[in-house]
């Protein structure tokens, strides 16, 4: 890289718009969407789609709810031409969907474009030519008047062909390609010439599409360009102002959003941001950004995973795991404090109230994602996430001391495994630490009877290494009777129980935190179909099991 890149990359000069209005506007509705997956997206593939693939992709786009779909550059290849014919001849275009095709301003290409569209109910013919200085000088060898003439000639020719096929409802679209790199006055004069040539009316508007063919500047600068032009264009009420942002600087979505505030009524882009170089603007992100602000996007992405897989399959390109809304990892929290907040948020979120769950911009369920994927555990995770997973998958509602203790065990396991801990692994850690007594004697049976003074007496049969043995005690309840029966001094610091999901053999779980002799704190648990047995077995399991918590952990 150059130490001083000033001369190689001159700073982009914004168009002058000191009284810009767009920063204080708010988006109130979705734009008209145009999917150019089958044209701009397709032209960016190493292996462009076949007719069959395009047909399938077209159906997917229709299912998403697109009403305008740029399906081809029909004059570019036989495949594109045949595809347009198949759509029309096989009657595959729903009545509320309009086909769009693109052409350069060349006599033969325009003629072939109209041949491809013969018999279409309604079609948008999209004419483009670049207008920015580098393209004028290096590509066309033309001055401003020359590129203006190229556009006007194309417009006239399109009108002539349209008149020859009067059964189709024609819509004209013009793009000053490289608009955002064009000088303000040049963009205005070329667009004005084309508008005057076509003669749109409010009832028969034309589409004026203003591409950021190469993203040249910050999104606010693009928005200024859109507002600057929008205010000066003739016949503004007869124009549908459209934008077509590319993502060279990684800010195409922001550029489209600000452009809409600045007056754009229509957005052209691709699913998941496919397209030339760094891609076209991602329509999924744009639409779901609107959705997350309470605006109906008019596109349906309620099964985002299926859509993502379909598109990956068509394009043979992966969608990044962190792609907004659609990536495999975007509804997943690994880090402890995020997991804790999400778990608390999900527990408190009510179905019919505004979405407030921390760290999740939308409810994953709205796009068909499951809650299971929200929290995953690795060495960066804390007790909140671990508890949430054990609750989701095994119905365990861990008391706080267990959460803290198990999270330390999980940290050690994650460090030594060197990978994510699945719920089954977490349960195994829980089982080994608290459910599996490390002592060599086992509960066999018990009997509990009430005494006249409201107390209870308890008899517990154990099987020890030396044979059967019976413990006897009495107290105000089951646990105090058991403590009375035990030969050693034991204190129960915490006792909690809850029912487990029906259908399992074990229908209750008891958790105990015990204080043994010499200040040793122990955690133990037991599951059982009978809650009394679960309680007794939990305390008995704790007497010699290894799980201990340090005083620092206990304080936490």
Which parts of this chain interact with ligand ACO (CB under 6 A)?
40, 43, 73, 76, 104-106, 128-129, 139-140, 150, 177, 213
Residue 139: contacted member of ligand KIV, ligand ACO, none (CB under 5 to 8 Å, by partner type): ligand ACO
106 binds, among ligand KIV, ligand ACO, none (CB under 5 to 8 A by kind): ligand ACO
The CB-of-322 to ligand ACO minimum distance in angstroms stands at 27
Q: Which run of H or E residues covers position 336?
A: helix 336-348
3-state DSSP percent of the chain in helix, strand and coil, to 5: 45, 20, 35
**Residue 282 in the binding site for ligand KIV (CB under 6 A):** no
Task: Pick one of 209, 217, 274, 339: the residue that binds ligand KIV (CB under 6 A).
Answer: 209
C-beta closer to ligand ACO: residue 246 or 383: 246
For the bound state, the minimum distance from the C-beta of residue 326 to ligand KIV, rounded and expressed in Å, comes to 23
Burial label, 555 (beta-carbon count in 10 A; 0-12, 13-18, 19+):
exposed
Of 277 and 520, which CB lies nearer to ligand KIV in the complex structure?
277
Residue 16: partners with Cβ closer than 8 Å, 6 or more residues away = 184, 228
Compute CA 39 distance to the chain's CA centroid, rounded to the nearest angstrom: 25
What order of strands is seen across the sheet that includes strand 491-499? 491-499, 508-515, 521-528
Residue among 108 and 494 whose Cβ is closer to ligand ACO = 108
What Rg value do the Cα atoms of the chain yield, rounded? Answer: 34
513 binds ligand KIV (CB under 6 A): no
Answer for the pair 380, 386: CB distance below 8 angstroms, yes or no: no
CB of 139 or CB of 429, closer to ligand KIV: 139
Q: Residue 175 CB, nearest distance to ligand KIV (Å)?
A: 4
CA-based nearest residue to 42, from 280, 304, 305 = 280
528 binds ligand KIV (CB under 6 A): no
Biggest distance spanned by C-alpha atoms of the chain = 110
Please pick, from the candidates 83, 128, 135, 291, the single residue that binds ligand KIV as defined by CB under 6 A: 128
Instruction: Count CA atoms closer than 13 A to 294's CA, side-chain side.
Output: 7
Nearer to ligand ACO (CB atom), residue 277 or residue 442: 277
Contact 215, 251 (CB under 8 A): yes
446 is in an annotated binding site: no
Binding residue for ligand KIV (CB under 6 A) from 80, 177, 257, 405?
A: 177
Nearest distance in Å: CB 180, ligand KIV: 9
Q: Cβ 276 to ligand ACO, closest distance in Å? A: 6
Give the pairing of strands 521-528 and 508-515: antiparallel
Site for ligand KIV in 27-66 (CB under 6 A): 40
Applying CB under 6 A, the span of 21-29, 209-217, 340-348, 537-545 interacting with ligand KIV comes to 209-217
DSSP states along 172-230: EEEEEETGGGS-HHHHHHHHHHHHHHH---SSS-EEEEEEESS--S-HHHHHHHHHHHH
What minimum distance in Å lies between the beta carbon of 235 and ligand ACO? 23
Cβ atoms of residues 402 and 493 within 8 Å: no
User: H/E element holding 163?
Assistant: helix 144-164
CB of 241 to ligand ACO, least distance (A): 19
User: Is residue 40 part of an annotated ligand binding site?
Assistant: yes
Is 246 labelled a binding residue? yes
By CB under 6 A, name the binding residues for ligand KIV.
40, 128, 175, 177, 209, 211, 213, 244, 246
């Amino acid at each position: 890289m150059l130490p001083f890149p000033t001369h190689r990359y001159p700073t982009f000069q914004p168009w002058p718009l000191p009284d810009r209005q767009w920063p204080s506007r708010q988006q109130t509705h979705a734009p008209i969407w145009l999917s150019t997956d089958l044209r701009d997206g397709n032209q960016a593939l190493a292996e462009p789609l076949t007719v069959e693939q395009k047909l399938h992709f077209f159906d997917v786009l229709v299912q998403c709810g697109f009403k305008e779909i740029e399906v081809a550059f029909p004059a570019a290849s036989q495949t594109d031409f045949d595809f347009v014919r198949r759509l029309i001849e096989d009657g595959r275009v729903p009545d509320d969907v309009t086909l769009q095709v693109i052409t350069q301003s060349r006599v033969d290409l325009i003629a072939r474009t109209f041949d491809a569209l013969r018999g279409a109910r309604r079609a948008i013919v999209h004419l483009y030519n670049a207008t920015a200085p580098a393209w004028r000088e290096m590509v066309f060898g033309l001055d401003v008047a020359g590129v203006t003439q190229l556009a006007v000639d194309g417009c006239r020719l399109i009108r002539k062909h349209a008149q020859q096929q009067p059964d189709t409802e024609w819509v004209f679209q013009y793009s000053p390609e490289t608009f955002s790199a064009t000088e303000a006055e040049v963009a205005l004069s070329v667009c004005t010439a084309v508008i005057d040539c076509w003669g749109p009316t409010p009832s028969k508007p034309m589409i004026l599409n203003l591409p950021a063919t190469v993203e040249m500047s910050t999104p606010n600068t693009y928005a200024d360009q859109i507002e600057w032009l929008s205010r000066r264009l003739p016949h503004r009420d007869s124009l549908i102002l459209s934008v077509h942002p590319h993502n060279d600087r990684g800010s195409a979505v922001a550029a489209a959003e600000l452009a809409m505030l600045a007056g754009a009524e229509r957005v052209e882009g691709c699913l998941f941001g496919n397209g030339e170089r760094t891609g076209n603007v991602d329509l999924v992100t744009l639409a779901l950004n609107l959705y997350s602000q309470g605006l109906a996007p008019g596109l349906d992405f309620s099964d985002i995973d299926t859509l993502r897989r379909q598109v990956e399959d068509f394009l043979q390109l992966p969608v990044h795991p962190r792609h907004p809304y659609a990536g495999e990892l975007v509804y997943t929290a690994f880090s402890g404090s995020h997991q804790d907040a999400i778990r608390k948020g999900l527990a408190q979120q009510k179905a019919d109230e505004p979405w407030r769950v921390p760290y999740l911009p939308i409810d994953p369920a709205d796009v068909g994602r499951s809650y299971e994927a929200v929290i995953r555990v690795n060495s960066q995770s804390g007790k909140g996430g671990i508890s949430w997973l054990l609750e989701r998958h095994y119905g365990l509602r861990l008391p706080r001391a267990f959460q803290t203790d198990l999270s330390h065990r999980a940290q050690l396991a994650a460090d030594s495994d060197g990978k994510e801990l699945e719920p089954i692994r977490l349960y195994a850690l829980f089982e080994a630490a608290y459910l599996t007594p490390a002592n060599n004697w086992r509960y066999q049976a018990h009997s509990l009877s009430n005494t006249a003074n409201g107390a209870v007496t308890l008899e517990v049969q154990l099987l020890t290494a030396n044979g059967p043995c019976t413990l006897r005690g009495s107290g105000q309840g089951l646990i105090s009777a058991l403590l009375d029966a035990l030969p050693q001094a034991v204190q129960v610091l915490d006792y909690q129980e809850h029912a487990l999901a029906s259908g399992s053999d074990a229908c209750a779980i008891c958790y105990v935190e015990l204080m043994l002799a010499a200040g040793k704190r122990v955690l133990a648990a037991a599951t059982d179909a009978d809650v009394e047995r679960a309680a007794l077995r939990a305390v008995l399991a704790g007497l010699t099991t290894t799980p201990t918590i340090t005083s620092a952990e206990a304080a936490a």
